[in-house]
Amino acid sequence: MEMVLKTKTVSEELGVNPTTVQRWVRHFNIPCEKNEHGHYLFKQEDIEQLREIKAQLDNGLLMNDIQIQSSQTSEKSVELPTQFEEKFDRLNKAIKELEKKVEEKADSVVSYQMLQHASELEELIKKIENMEARLQDLEVAILKNNYPEEKLYVKEKPKKNWFVSLFTL
């Protein structure tokens, strides 16, 4: 069984801070395994890469200028994006499904509101027609009271819905 070390042990072995080791792992995409708590587990070849990085830094190179050699790094770097791509695709699909559900819900809410508005408009139209009829009856009653002996001729206007006429030319 291969020996696996934790970050603190590796940092003590290299003589650097544990956060420095973690930063190097992320920066150089060193394919370390992690335990169930998300802590890095270092194999001997991972430690060798970290030693190589430390040596190059000690020689004055900047992190962006350091190059490390490892066949394992190139293999794992192909796997990680695939895993992320699969997760991204699943999340993207779930988001699209939620967007579709939200859109359907919004459509049904708008449809319901439109039906409500149509019903309210019909009710208002009926009330207006009733008011027009009552006004006409009142006009006739007033005219009869003012001119009781004369025969009144009240020309009935064709009923036209004035509310609808607002929307037509």
- Taking only the tens place, the pLDDT of each residue in 58-73 is 988 888 888 777 544 4
- Taking only the tens place, the pLDDT of each residue in 6-21 is 999 999 999 999 999 9
Q: Over 80: is that where the pLDDT of 77 sits?
A: no
Looking at the domain that runs over 5-69, which CATH code has it been given?
1.10.1660.10
pLDDT at 72 (0 to 100) = 47
Find all residues with CB under 8 Å of 162, minimum gap 6, and list them.
128, 132
Domain ranges of the chain: 5-69, 78-163
* Percent of the residues in the chain that have a pLDDT greater than 90, as a whole number: 37
**pLDDT top residue among 114 and 158:** 114
- Taking only the tens place, the pLDDT of each residue in 40-59 is 999 999 999 999 999 999 98
Q: What is the pTM of this model?
A: 0.41
Q: Over 70: is that where the pLDDT of 144 sits?
A: yes
Question: Are residues 21 and 14 in contact, defined by beta-carbon separation less than 8 angstroms?
Answer: yes
Find all residues with CB under 8 Å of 164, minimum gap 6, and list them.
125
